[in-house]
Structure 1
Amino acid sequence: MSLRNKIGPRTRPDQPAPQSRSTPPAADSPWRPARVALTAFFAIDGFLFAAWVVRIPDVRSQVSASHSTLGLALLCLSIGAVLTMPLIGRLCLRYGSRPVTVGSLALLSLAVPLPAHAHSVTALGGVLLLFGAGYGGANVAMNSAAVDLVAQLRRPVMPSFHAGYSFGGLVGTGVSGLLAGPLSTAWALALSAALGVAVTAGAGVVLLRSPAATAVTPARANRAAERSEDAGAGSGPVRAHTRLLVLLLGLTALCTAYGEGAIADWTTLHLTDDVHASSVVAATGYGAYAFAMAGGRVGGTWLSIRLGQTRLMLFGGLTAGVGMLIAALAPAVPVAICGFVLVGLGLANLFPLAIARAGAAGGPQGVAFASSLGYGGMLIGPVVIGFLADAAGLPLALTTVTVTATVAALLPLAVGRRGREQRTAGDGQRMSGGG
């Protein structure tokens, strides 16, 4: 009897046990309460962020910020996120990703109204640090919970969670745009925060009461590697390949987040200042981008199966690069909005697929590392674009998104090649080990 048959699939800690007592069988409905609740968390996260994005021009006028000083203030949001992510990753490993998700969304909801009460760039930067801590923590915790649930369901549904984020952003953009005239920034963000607290409380109860899949922890992964090593399959090369794969996927997420952050932070300003759109039309432009991204993510699972994840990421990155050139350099509002639609379609599945693949390769630590590296793109994006905008104009600064989107399109090719090399090496080791 081979070693694989002796161990059996239920003793392999690197994969979810199909019929264990702690994991419901795959025949259960894929729309179980945990998935619905987690989708609601992604959606309210997108809603709250969009509510803030639509009000950026008002807050900029309130604090009298230039492009470069606003970029520095927005940098604080990214700093808060990136500094928090490693801590959130450790908290997820210790306490579970679901409780940390609830706590992070509660912090984000409470931080949303604060920018409306800042009256200097320094004060705005301070409150955006707290905003970023909640936003970054929520994204790491939600994605970790989603990776576990994807493994539990045994269905490639990660894009559907991020579709919830995009639809939440779309609704947030529409509601905030409609309320831009009747309500002040303070009231609009306060109402958004109240909705965030309500959704967090309701979805949190459902998520915490739902049966959770057994997560892959570093300790369990190490024990699996040790058993493989004892069986004759050297674990050193496998671990090195895994670290490299997670690094490449994290760089893909970084380039993608650079583009997403640029769209979130600068779309409304570009449309109002450079293309001379009204505030309502500018909000519609970001909404068109969010709608395109949501639509792309709804079809992400089907497309990833049909085309393969590597091809989908390649085509997506190239589409986003072309769309950003159109959006940045277009002289008319309709053409610019069409460009943002292409960017949304192109970027739609890059980040969720990169995070999902990092989680499959490295477990929760892979998610935390790739997310931290990914949101580093949001850290450098506001500063780069802000200073380039002051030096050469915002349209030219936005074309840097084309460069990063192209890099994000090409990196998955290296990931796929490394993955094939790892599988080939593993097969060779098993054959030489006499399995």
Structure 2
Amino acid sequence: MPTLNKIRTALSGTVTRKTRSTPVPPTDPRLARLRLALTAFFAMDGFLFAGWVVRIPAIKAHTGAGTGALGLALLGVSAGAVAFMMITGRLCRRFGSHAVTAASGAAMALSIVLPPLTHSATALGLVLLVFGAAYGSLNVAMNSAAVELIGALRRPVMPGFHAAFSLGGMLGAGLGGLIAGGLSPTVHLLLLALIGLLVAAVAGRSLLAHPAPAVPVAERRPAAERRTGPRRPGRLVCVFGLIALCTAYGEGAMADWGALHLSQDLAAGPGPAAAGYAVFALAMTAGRLSGTAVVQRFGPARALIAGGTTATAGMLLGALAPSAWAACLGFAVAGLGLANIFPIAIARAGEAGGAGGVAVASTIGYGGMLLGPPVIGFLAEAFSLPLALTTVALLAAAAVVIAYGTRGAHHNERA
């Protein structure tokens, strides 16, 4: 009888995959501690990145870079991130996502002090390669850890982690707007580095003290898929990566060019210019805090389609508005629309391919950030920055089309 059961199991394609540890019950208090530690890393990531973003105009003036040269220098962030993402996927498989998350968080905190020390666009681009490498590594590692934790919790809580990123971004941008006129970029980013190192030390210790919960990818797939075999996870990962690319382009554009658009094209002061990214981050935070409920209620496909449509309308307003405050309103609407697209795409890629799936989708997705800075910079020089920013709306619309065309690939799980 045991042999017959094994044969039936093999024929149905539901052979249990062995893992290095026993799956953790979703009510285990260790999961709550891991969730809190990961949330801290997501918040720190957004906080540090926003702190750098709001000082871009000051560093541009310090280096004397033109718009096109600045676009090429900013390319260093995306190039460094994309270059290290696939490497980080392998490191996560070798050393575990928790250890790589802790190390990458410390590296990002240290590297943020480098940009204001440069005196040319070339030097700025080189140090931004280092900063981007740490940023990309942290994003793959902590998203991989989040996917593992989501499998153990059995709830689609990825938007909540990305809400922490957005909240950190909002706080970082808000703080930057308050102190931009009183502190030099060097002192400002040094303070952020100290805060980042403190968070990495405390939250990293918690991650290292608790191993990642063992939830095999096969156990997270729906029963129908386990009976019929996998649905080409490589293809699904690439689809989700392409959706992430369209939206990462928008997030990167807002980070790199939003403040400059408000100050250069709409004559906003340092405070209002920083407020543009702050309201964008606030809207993303609000959208992501409700993201888990939205996905459970409507399913990931509908959430992606609605979000992309909203982002398209909001970014058109933000790019073409005649006043700074109207542009900020458009940025807020765009942030609300973009809020859950990237986390849904990365979570689905992780379900399809584990840490490797997160790495592949993140690499494709952050290709949007790789394309964004030079494309917008060159278009701004050839035409105007407002017109260049309308490409964000164009790609958000493309994400809607892709999500609608592949809606059958989304599993509408209701936890």
Please give the TM-score of this superposition, normalised by the length of structure 1: 0.88
Q: How far apart are the structure 1 equivalents of 2:215 and 2:252?
A: 30
CA 1:159–1:418 in 2, change beyond 3 Å: closer, same or farther? Answer: closer
Shift of 1:363: 1.3
1:371 to 344, 355, 362: 362
Is 1:101–1:138's contact at 8 Å kept on the other side of the alignment? Answer: yes
Gaps in structure 1 of 5+ consecutive residues: 421-435
1:13 is paired with a residue of what secondary structure?
A: coil
1:60 alignment counterpart: 60
Give 2:375's aligned amino acid: V
The amino acid that maps onto 1:190 is L
Note if contact 2:163-2:289 (Cα within 8 Å) is conserved in structure 1: yes
Please provide the CA RMSD for this pair: 2.5
Number of residue pairs matched by the alignment? 403
Q: Tell me how far 1:319 sits from its aligned partner.
A: 0.5
One-letter code of the match for 1:191? L
1:412/1:186 Cα in 2 relative to 1: closer, same or farther (>3 Å)? same
Distance in 2 (CA, whole Å) between partners of 1:67 and 1:112 is 22
| Equivalent in 393, 404, 411 of residue 413 of structure 1 | 404
1:413 offset after TM fit, Å?
Answer: 2.2
Amino acid at match of 2:303: L
Report the Cα offset of residue 409 of structure 1: 1.6
Tell me the residue number matched to 2:350.
359
Q: Deviations over 1:166-202 (max 9, x none)?
A: 0000111111111111111100000000000000000
- Asked whether the equivalents of residues 245 and 415 of structure 1 are also in contact (C-alpha less than 8 Å), the reply is no
Contact 1:23 1:211 in 2 (8 A): no
CA contact (8 A) 1:85 1:137 kept: yes
Q: 1:365 to 1:354 in 2, by over 3 A?
A: same
Residues 42/408 of structure 1: CA separation in 2 closer, same or farther (3 Å cut): same
Find out whether 1:163 has 2:163 as its counterpart: yes
**Hey, what does 1:332 align to over in structure 2?**
323
Identity over aligned pairs, percent: 50
**Distance between the aligned counterparts of 2:7 and 2:65, measured in 1?**
63
Report the 3-state secondary structure (helix = DSSP H, G, I; strand = E; otherwise coil) of the residue aligned with 1:147: helix
Residue 127 of structure 2 is aligned to residue 127 of structure 1: yes
Q: CA deviation at 1:22?
A: 2.9
- Residue 399 of structure 1 aligns to a residue whose secondary structure is helix
| Residue from 12, 19, 23 that aligns with 2:16 | 12
Contact map agreement 2:245 2:364 (CA 8 A) in 1: yes
**Where in structure 2 are the equivalents of 1:216-227 lying within 5 Å?**
216=216
CA distance in structure 1 between the aligned counterparts of 2:399 and 2:320, rounded to whole angstroms: 21
Q: CA offset at residue 249 of structure 1?
A: 0.5
Q: Confirm whether residue 320 of structure 1 aligns to residue 324 of structure 2.
A: no
Equivalent residue letter for 1:89: G
Aligned twin of 1:41: 41
Distance in 2, matches of 1:202 and 1:418, equals 39
Distance 1:39 1:289, change over 3 A: same
The answer to whether the Cα contact below 8 Å between 1:216 and 1:364 also exists between their aligned partners in 2 is no
Greater alpha carbon shift after TM alignment, 23-32 vs 72-81: 23-32
Distance between the aligned counterparts of 2:29 and 2:214, measured in 1?
19
Match of 1:243 in 2: 234
How far is the alpha carbon of 1:215 from its aligned partner? 5.5
Asked whether the equivalents of residues 328 and 396 of structure 1 are also in contact (C-alpha less than 8 Å), the reply is: yes
Residue 6 (structure 1) shift: 5.0
Residue type at the aligned position of 1:292 = A
| In structure 1, distance between residues paired with 2:84 and 2:211 | 27
One-letter amino acid matched to 2:382: A
Q: Which residue of 2 aligns with 1:297?
A: 288
8 Å CA contact 1:253, 1:373 repeated in 2: yes
1:287 aligns with 2:278: yes
Alignment of 1:192-271 (within 5 A): 192-214=192-214, 216=216, 238=230, 241-271=232-262
For the 8 Å contact 1:261–1:382, the answer to whether it is kept is yes
Paired residue for 2:388? Answer: 397
| Deviations 1:334-392, CA, capped at 9 Å, x for gaps | 21111000110000000000000011111111110000000000001001000000010
| Matched residue type, 2:32 | R
Matches within 5 A, 1:185-196: 185-196=185-196
Q: Which amino acid in 2 is paired with 1:311?
A: R
- Counterpart Cα distance in 2 of 1:414 and 1:104: 36
Give 1:27 shift.
Answer: 2.8
Counterparts of 1:4 and 1:290 in 2: how far apart (Å)?
A: 53
Distance 2:330 2:41 in 1: 29
What amino acid is aligned across from residue 385 of structure 2 in structure 1?
Answer: L
Worse-matched range after superposition: 3-12 or 143-152: 3-12
Change beyond 3 A, Cα 1:150–1:10: farther
Measured after TM superposition, the shift of residue 23 of structure 1 is 2.9
Q: Is the 8 A contact 2:346 2:361 kept in 1?
A: yes
Deviation of residue 212 (structure 1)? 2.0
Which blocks of at least 5 consecutive residues in structure 2 are unaligned? Answer: none
**Alpha carbons of structure 1 residues 4 and 28: separation in structure 2 relative to 1, 3 Å:** farther
Cα separation, partners in 2 of 1:205 and 1:311, compared to 1, 3 Å: same
The 1-side partners of 2:194 and 2:376 are apart by 32
